[in-house]
Amino acid sequence: MWHNAKRKLTMTNETDKKQKLDNGTENPHEPTPSVCVHVRGLAENTLERDVKGAVQQFGGVKNVMVMARKRQGLVEFENIAAAKSCVDYSKSGNSIFVNGQPALFNFSTSNKIEPPKEETSSKSNVVLLFTILNAQYVITVDVIYKITSPYGNVQRIVVFKKNQVQAMVEFDSKESAQRAKENLNGADIYSGCCSLKVSYAKAAYLNVQKNNAESWDYTKESADEPTGNGLLKEPRYGAPNAVEERGGVFGGQGAVCLVYNLDKDKMNCDRLFNLFCLYGNVDRVKFLRSKEGTAMVQMSDVHSADRALANLNGITAFGQRIKVAISKQTSLNEEPNPYPMDDGTKSYVNYSSNRNNRFTNQQAAQKNRAQAPSKLLHFYNAPPKFSDDEINQIFVKAVGKAPKSITHFPSKTEKSLTGLLEFSNTTEAVEALVMANHDPIAVKESKNPFLFKLCFTRDNSS
């Protein structure tokens, strides 16, 4: 009796299923084959790339979307044969592991992955929401800026933490936001951790009240002027994992120097470059319109910035005692319309590709050892037959004063002249280097001018 009843019930259920199909209603357990496959049972923190990596063995994958909260997702294959291969393999009792956990695959009722409404809306804005999964290191605005700025001008950043670490980034345009989303979604900030889940935010803009480790408005100039007797207002890396942050894939935090008390008639971007290039590669220099006599110098790495700080803070030039500090801002935005300085030069210059940077490789760096300012300057790359009178004229024209003495070094080749210049004191040498370093010297024997180069050398007499 029981077996007959059970058989009758099973047949009835199968009949009902067939009837539903005959009536035009799709059976949810056996949906019509489609290029889209529904995934269930995903592990926490699964990313689109994890799903794609698990199923691309079955054929080309056109698109993937993960619904993290539901632990589900969709895979759109390039053709139905690849989708069928994936579903058949899963239904045959084989496990398809996604992010270390077996997941279930079946045909979806959809024939195409449609992006979320906010991404297709005409109001898809310039603000992106970043969710940082497996955040093993401290995430600050500096870190977020470093990874997002290559894709467009970043206007504002806010970092916050509720159940997980998140950040919102406002770009200058929808195109910039789209580029950042396409390139960063699924990427790791550091190798093996701090994975990024990127989506459009609902907010149309960000309201930043103050600049600190959790929020920053890059449209407002900020000098971060230190107070008190210390060089810095507070530790540059207040986070517990500061050392790890500097050594990560997107390391280089704290590479922007703030320079105060600059003579506005003598100093410009090129002359600051002449001085700072002795301690590392200079990427960008920017004078602040809102703070006269103040500039920001972005070095290529944190070690170069530290060297510049150690050697240049407190030196005197043109009657001013120059102060150097490290900014909390780790990068300078590209300035499309810099304002003109009093001498007609631009207030912002990008030097990242400048051939006068001296630390472009290990060999060059070894030749350009950083020395503290002194009254002695080493000169090189002067024309081979350049006289002392001609050298003196360079400095008389630049600073109104010639060096006390000139010493020539014997050269193995006759391609250029090198030697030593002694000034009366360190201040005179600093001013001479600022004004005359990289001075072009034209000679009849050469089509291209010689770039007269200077650097400080150790004064053994003191």
pLDDT tens, residue by residue, 223-246: 554 444 443 333 333 333 333 333
pLDDT at residue 351 greater than cutoff 90: yes
Q: What CATH number is given to the structural domain containing 177?
A: 3.30.70.330
Listed as own residue / partner, the contacts of 143-150 with beta carbons closer than 8 Å and 24 or more positions apart are 143/189, 143/245, 143/250, 143/253, 144/169, 145/216, 145/218, 145/330, 145/331, 146/250, 146/252, 146/253, 146/330, 146/331, 147/184, 147/187, 147/189, 147/196, 147/250, 148/180, 148/184, 149/331, 149/333
448 Cβ neighbours under 8 A, 6+ residues apart: none
Residues 261 and 351 in one domain: yes
Position 212 in a domain: yes
Give the pLDDT band (50/70/90) at residue 27: low
- Is residue 459 scored above 50 in pLDDT? yes
12 is a domain residue: no
- Specify whether 376 is located in the same domain as 345: no
- As a whole number of angstroms, the distance between CA 454 and CA 110 comes to 69
Residue 184 binned pLDDT confidence (cut-offs 50, 70, 90): confident
Percent of the chain having pLDDT more than 70?
Answer: 84
Last residue of a domain, one of 363, 382, 401: 363
CA dihedral 340, 342, 345, 348 (to 10 degrees): -50
More confident residue, 311 or 302: 311
Instruction: Identify the pLDDT of residue 405.
Output: 95
pLDDT, position 40 = 92
Flag whether 228 is in a domain: no
Question: Does 353 lie in the same domain as 381?
Answer: no
User: What per-residue confidence (pLDDT) applies to 277?
Assistant: 96
Residue 406's CB: how many other CB atoms inside 10 A? 16
- In angstroms, the Cα distances linking 4 to 10, 11, 18 are 10, 11, 21
Do 350 and 334 share a structural domain? Answer: yes
Structure tokens at 446: 């050469």
Q: Give the pLDDT confidence score for residue 395 in this predicted structure.
A: 96
Residues in the chain: 462
Residue 111: the pLDDT is 86
Do both 377 and 324 map to the same domain? no
Look up the domain containing 414 and give its range: 371-456
Please report, for residues 53, 323, 435, 447, the alpha-carbon distance to residue 315 in angstroms, rounded to integers and kept in the order given.
57, 8, 16, 38
- Please give the average per-residue pLDDT across 282-301, as a whole number: 93
208 assigned to some structural domain:
yes
Mean pLDDT across the chain: 82
Checking if the pLDDT of 31 tops 60, the result is: yes
Compute the average pLDDT of residues 25-43: 80
Last residue of some domain: 85, 107, 129? 107
Residues with Cβ within 8 Å of residue 76, at least 6 apart in sequence: 35, 36, 37, 61, 62, 63, 64, 112, 113
Q: Distance between CA 192 and CA 35 in Å, rounded?
A: 32
Within a domain: 461 = no
The CA-based angle 431-435-439, given to 5 degrees, is 140
Q: Are residues 359 and 391 in the same domain?
A: no
Q: Token pair 């345009």 is at which residue?
A: 173
- The answer to whether the pTM exceeds 0.75 is no
336-345 per-position pLDDT tens digit: 889 999 999 9
Q: What is the pLDDT of residues 75-109, one digit of tens each?
A: 999 999 999 999 999 999 888 988 778 999 999 98
Instruction: Examine the pLDDT at 30 and tell me if it is beyond 50.
Output: yes
Spatial separation of the C-alpha atoms in residues 450 and 66, rounded to whole Å: 60
pLDDT score at 11? 39
pLDDT mean over 383-402: 94
Count of domains for the chain: 4
Query: Quick check: 117 pLDDT over 90?
Result: no
The answer to whether residues 255 and 355 belong to one domain is: yes
CA distance 394 to 222: 37
User: Of 66, 89, 107, which residue constitutes the final position of a domain?
Assistant: 107
Copy the structure tokens of residue 10.
Answer: 């099973």
Q: Is the same domain home to 395 and 445?
A: yes
The more confident residue out of 396 and 366 is: 396
Output the pLDDT for position 14.
Answer: 41
